[in-house]
Amino acid sequence: MTVLTLVGAAVAVGAWFLLLGVVLAATRGPAVRPGPATAALGPQSPAVVDLLTGGWVLSDEAASATLLDLAARRVVTIEEIGPELALVRLGRRDPARGEPDLAPYEQLVLDHVRTLATADGVVATGALAEGARSLGPWWRAFGKAVIAEARAAGLSRPRWSRAQRLLLLGAGAVPMAAVGFAAAAARSGSDGPLGPFAGGAVLTFALLSALVTRLDRECGTDAGGAAASRWLGVREHLAGARFAEAPAAAVTIWGRPLAYAAALGVAGRAVAGLPVAIPADDSRAWSDRGGMWHVVRVDYRGPGPWGRFFWGRAPLHLLGRLAIAAIPSWGVAFLIGILLRAFLDVPVPPELVGLLGALLVVGVPLVGLLLDVGGRGVVEGQVVRLRRRVRSQNENRTTYDHYVALDDGRSRTVRAFGTTAERWEQLTEGDEIRATVSRRVGWVHAAEILTPSRYRTGAPRTP
């Protein structure tokens, strides 16, 4: 009986996968082959072109290409100031013309630029990775809007129709029941058949429906396939135009072809210069403290060879670390002292060598800790980075070290301070804060928000 039900379940599952294969074959998109090289741009926007030529999967380049397209259409301008500095400048609003007529995803990109812009209406291109939005939701909204336009133009469609989805899920009831019966038969000696039946059935259905959802990707229509083929021809033409090394500011000269080249993956430098959909760098932050964008390098380690171990810790935690580090340091130095005395007749007691060894390792941070107990400093600055790093991890719990980097306007390099999880949660990148800190050991004891972040509400906190 058990073998029969197991075979029945296997057959039912196999039959369902056969059905899935048939539906997959019936719904597959058109085969896209590059058309002849052409310079004629089509009516689609660069973002839609990115979707069509990327196998109906949107790439990061779509957002950068959209910004380049906005620049080509004079909604914004991109100006090069130096080899490592270019600016995106918002166009002046003409009250007579009103808002520019933009697609929803173009509006999302423009809004992102607007939220980052300083009073002058300027954002450094590198600062585009800083964000007024959590990257995940923003990217989903962007993708959704691009797909909506492609669908409206008849270039794209969801893989499953409602009927196909219902067919697959409805047919999934058969393997669900068969696996449920097999599970009940296999566990017949236990408390009763209902539990194993329900468990097996629910698990099977969940797996099958997850698979159906996973495979339900965007798919091309025949018109979309033809458009993609033509755009691949444009790509062949643009690939020979040497856009690969053109900076983003070159859009002033090249116009829309550079935006399309970016969408088609042949304008690498311009795309890299406009990191709209790229997470911000941990160690290179852009700050607009003082009203002008500038780069601040963030170091998460303290000074000296032991900075990695003793910087950014709570005073008590640091004390514990110093005690733990002092013992093996003393032991190693003590052994060296014994060897020095035994082989080289060095007339220094090993205990003293041990003490010197321990002081060599823990002396500087210990003195720093003691000095900081007597006098804490106050720092006013803009929060340019909030990061947390895994300190320890086990099956039940993950412990993090939390860091906050402040640009106080005095240096282009800052050391991130450690802080508590609670204080870290209260801060947002872009906040202007006043922090009471232990400068020598790198710990924030208190933080008061002076001006909440105006452009980074809900900024992403990358672990």
Partner 1 sequence: MSALIVVLVIVVVLILLAVLLVGMYNRLVTSRNAVDNAWAQIDVQLRRRHELIPNLVETVKGYAAHERQTLDAVTAARSAAVSATGPAAQAAAENRLTGALRSLFAVAEAYPQLQAGRNFADLQAELSDTENRIAYARQYYNDAVLGYNNAVQTVPTALVAGVTGFRVREYFTAPDEERGPVAVRFS
74 is a contact residue toward partner 1 (CB under 8 A):
no
Q: Binding residues for partner 1, how many (CB under 8 A)?
A: 18
245 is a contact residue toward partner 1 (CB under 8 A):
no
Closer of 82 and 374 to partner 1 (Cβ): 82
The helix or strand, by DSSP H or E, that contains position 448, with its residue range, turns out to be strand 443-451
90 is a contact residue toward partner 1 (CB under 8 A):
no
**Identified binder of partner 1 from the candidate list 43, 82, 240, 374, rule CB under 8 A:** 82
Residues 6+ apart with CB under 8 A from 32: 53, 220, 225, 228, 229, 232
When computed from its CA atoms, the radius of gyration of the chain, rounded to whole angstroms, is 31
Query: Least separation, in Å, of the C-beta of 344 and partner 1?
Result: 20
252 is a contact residue toward partner 1 (CB under 8 A):
no
For residues 179 and 314, give the distance between their C-alpha atoms in angstroms, rounded to a whole number: 55
294 is a contact residue toward partner 1 (CB under 8 A):
yes
Query: Least separation, in Å, of the C-beta of 290 and partner 1?
Result: 6
The closest alpha carbon to 37, from 172, 219, 248, 232, belongs to 232
Closer of 121 and 199 to partner 1 (Cβ): 121
83 is a contact residue toward partner 1 (CB under 8 A):
yes
Q: Which stretch binds partner 1 (CB under 8 A): 86-94, 248-256, 304-312, 342-350?
A: 86-94
For residues 463 and 401, give the distance between their C-alpha atoms in angstroms, rounded to a whole number: 10
**Identified binder of partner 1 from the candidate list 19, 24, 85, 239, rule CB under 8 A:** 85
* Neighbour count for residue 210 (Cβ, 10 Å): 10
Is residue 27 exposed (0-12), middle (13-18) or buried (19+ Cβ within 10 Å)? middle
Query: Least separation, in Å, of the C-beta of 295 and partner 1?
Result: 8
**Identified binder of partner 1 from the candidate list 67, 87, 264, 433, rule CB under 8 A:** 87
Query: Least separation, in Å, of the C-beta of 127 and partner 1?
Result: 12
Q: Which stretch binds partner 1 (CB under 8 A): 52-60, 85-93, 179-187, 390-398?
A: 85-93
Closer of 85 and 174 to partner 1 (Cβ): 85
Query: Least separation, in Å, of the C-beta of 126 and partner 1?
Result: 12
Restricting to residues 105-124, which ones interact with partner 1 according to CB under 8 A? 118-120, 122
209 is a contact residue toward partner 1 (CB under 8 A):
no
Query: Least separation, in Å, of the C-beta of 102 and partner 1?
Result: 22
379 is a contact residue toward partner 1 (CB under 8 A):
no
3-class SS string, 72-102: HCCCEEEEEEECCEEEEEECCCCCCCCCCCC
Closer of 121 and 363 to partner 1 (Cβ): 121
Contact map string, positions 26 to 65, toward partner 1, x by CB under 8 A = ----------------------------------------
Query: Least separation, in Å, of the C-beta of 81 and partner 1?
Result: 5
Query: Least separation, in Å, of the C-beta of 445 and partner 1?
Result: 30
7 is a contact residue toward partner 1 (CB under 8 A):
no
In sequence order, what DSSP letters do the residues of 203-253 get, joined into one string?
Answer: HHHHHHHHHHHHH--EEE-HHHHHHHHHHHHHHHHHHTTT-TT--GGGHHH
Residues 60 and 254: beta-carbon distance below 8 Å: no
Contact map string, positions 273 to 292, toward partner 1, x by CB under 8 A = -----------------xxx
**Strand, helix or coil at 438?**
strand
Restricting to residues 399-418, which ones interact with partner 1 according to CB under 8 A? 412
The helix or strand, by DSSP H or E, that contains position 342, with its residue range, turns out to be helix 315-344
299 is a contact residue toward partner 1 (CB under 8 A):
no
Starting from the edge strand earliest in sequence, which strands make up the sheet with 122-124, in order? 76-82, 85-90, 122-124
For residues 15 and 11, give the distance between their C-alpha atoms in angstroms, rounded to a whole number: 6
Query: Least separation, in Å, of the C-beta of 83 and partner 1?
Result: 7
The closest alpha carbon to 285, from 111, 433, 443, 459, belongs to 459
Closer of 79 and 380 to partner 1 (Cβ): 79
For residues 45 and 73, give the distance between their C-alpha atoms in angstroms, rounded to a whole number: 12
For residues 400 and 73, give the distance between their C-alpha atoms in angstroms, rounded to a whole number: 46
For residues 139 and 32, give the distance between their C-alpha atoms in angstroms, rounded to a whole number: 26
Residues of this chain that interact with partner 1 (CB under 8 A) are 79, 81-83, 85, 87, 89, 92, 118-120, 122, 290-294, 412
